[in-house]
Structure 1
């Protein structure tokens, strides 16, 4: 088990998202709870209103699934052995 943090800079400052992961059989790593992401990002709808937490979680999951985080975790685990 562990936690992953991805961060970066934008024109509005630093942004980040973190989540817990667990190692599954055959070396697969998976998010513990896709709804339990931690972030300082705020998502807005087309009218500029802040999205509800569930809607934000959906947006965050879309972002996380584009990141190569599983590969990075597997590399880190491989170097620990």
Structure 2
């Protein structure tokens, strides 16, 4: 099953007053990181894609996801920090929905707390290894092998004297 970051917005909304201590947050697990198939290929090419993380709060599945870009090889950043897709509705201390700016800050706190960059490093290392593998050699035209040299006579084997032929069928 494939989930893209933007699909999280269609999930049922879950209100959440984000605790200051991230140890009290739901345990988010990595579900998917994808590499844009239209990204340039090759060992030195920089990539971009999206990543999705999912957790559970009460009986509700919650998710956060965002697009990422490789700034330079092995260094990843949010492509647009102002857009972290989620079905979470962030609440303030009075349990009222946060304004847009504060909600963006809260969503970025969640993204920053997750080990997504290390996960992307592993995903991209696997894709780069597959691309960097040498291509199999081109098939060569088949040629008939040369006839092997005649075997030397072995001791104890019958050798026909020179000039002696097989008896003809008429003589028999």
RMSD: 1.0
Corresponding residue number in structure 2 for 1:25: 72
TM-score, normalised to structure 2's length?
0.45
* Structure (1 or 2) with the larger CA radius of gyration: 2
Aligned match for 2:110, one of 56, 63, 73 = 63
How many residues get paired? 81
Aligned match for 1:13, one of 27, 51, 60 = 60
Corresponding residue number in structure 1 for 2:121: 74
Structure 1, unaligned runs of 5 or more = none
Whole-Å Cα distance in 1 between the matches of residues 59 and 93 of structure 2?
A: 19
Whole-Å Cα distance in 2 between the matches of residues 11 and 3 of structure 1?
A: 26
Which structure's residues are more often helix, by fraction?
1
TM-score, normalised to structure 1's length?
0.92
Whole-Å Cα distance in 2 between the matches of residues 80 and 33 of structure 1?
A: 24
Structure 2, unaligned runs of 5 or more = 1-47, 129-172
Give CA-to-partner distance per residue, 1:16-66, whole Å, 9 cap, x none: 011100112232111111111110001111112111111111011111111
